[in-house]
Amino acid sequence: MAESVVLPHRARRAGSVRESRVIRFLQRHGWSYLFLLPMLALVVPFVIYPLVASIEITLFNWDGIGHPTQYVGLQNFVRVAHDPLFWNAFKHTFLYAGVLVPIQLTLALILALVLNNPRLRGATVYRAIYFSPVVTSAALVGIVVSLLLTSLGQPLSDTLLKLGIVGQPIDWLGSPTFALPTIIVVGIWHTLGYNLVYFLAGLQSIPKELYEAAAVDGANAWHRFWDVTVPMLREVGAVILFLAILGSLQVFDLVLVMTGGGPYYASEVVSTYIYHFAFTPAAVQAQANVGYASAAAFFMGVLVMGLTVAQLLAVGLMRRRRADFAS
């Protein structure tokens, strides 16, 4: 009889403890979640819902008008897997990322080291100059560069020809050989400011006492960089690396505006491949097929998600190693 009285009392006590924890949690973090509501109100209908709906669309042949009715199952995925144009675009996407990312990160780190020097005068002005291309639309940058190449591309080609650097005149955007490299150069310049700011933030978070201690021990500039800067930037650098890779794999605006994926699909990337099948079918098929384009996007989305998971695992591993080293 006594146990039957104690058990409900313990249950009520445990319930009151849980309620008090919930109340404390809401009091401490409630405003944070309240501030997230406006973002969720836009993310859910315009990001999450389209992502979920696109999975269903991949199972249909659909021109984007009305409701999809022509069910084809996994046929769209089979077509994507056997389409040489898709794998051509896939190759160009990774070529773009594989060339842009190492060059851009190297330049960004060098510039960040220079601009982080406290003895440099006008460092704020230089930072603004290097970051200014980032705030400019990629489509606008592509249009302006295309116009510049139209007016200045021929004199530049003639100069290289006279110097013996090239053997024939160059059509910067009309040549299958030079179209994609030209876009890569523009992409490096356009998004350099992002990584520059990230590296600057990482460098400014390194305690100055570490450099002073290294200098006292007789370390020169190179040893201070290699033994202090690089280890302290390792975790931040991993995040910067993965962000740069993910951003470069999603290149779209520059390619669409500057070449449209041409000439002869020489600069086609996965994003423009998807766009062409979904919205400009005259160049590739008789009518638009949003289902097929969604299947191609699904392939790329799985890859991007895989890279995101790899980033989380890599950053987590580095944090655990740093914690073990500190302990």
188 confidence band (pLDDT: 50, 70, 90): very high
What number of other Cβ atoms are within 10 A of residue 213's Cβ? 13
Q: What is the CATH number of domain 71-326?
A: 1.10.3720.10
Sequence-distant (6+) residues with CB within 8 A of 176 are 263, 264, 266
Say what the pLDDT of residue 308 is: 77
Q: Among candidates 294, 244, 249, which has minimal Cα distance to 270?
A: 249
Identify the residue with better confidence: 33 or 145: 145
User: Lowest-pLDDT range, 64-78, 117-131, 150-164?
Assistant: 150-164
Say what the pLDDT of residue 227 is: 85
Say what the pLDDT of residue 158 is: 79
Amino acid present at 312: L
**What residue has token string 């005149």?**
169
| pLDDT of residue 226 exceeding 60 | yes
- Measured CA to CA in angstroms, residue 245 lies from 2, 102, 250 at distances of 66, 10, 9
Write down the mean pLDDT value for the chain: 83
Global pTM? 0.81
Q: Measured between alpha carbons, how far is 207 from 191 in angstroms, rounded to an integer?
A: 28
Say what the pLDDT of residue 318 is: 73
Say what the pLDDT of residue 108 is: 93
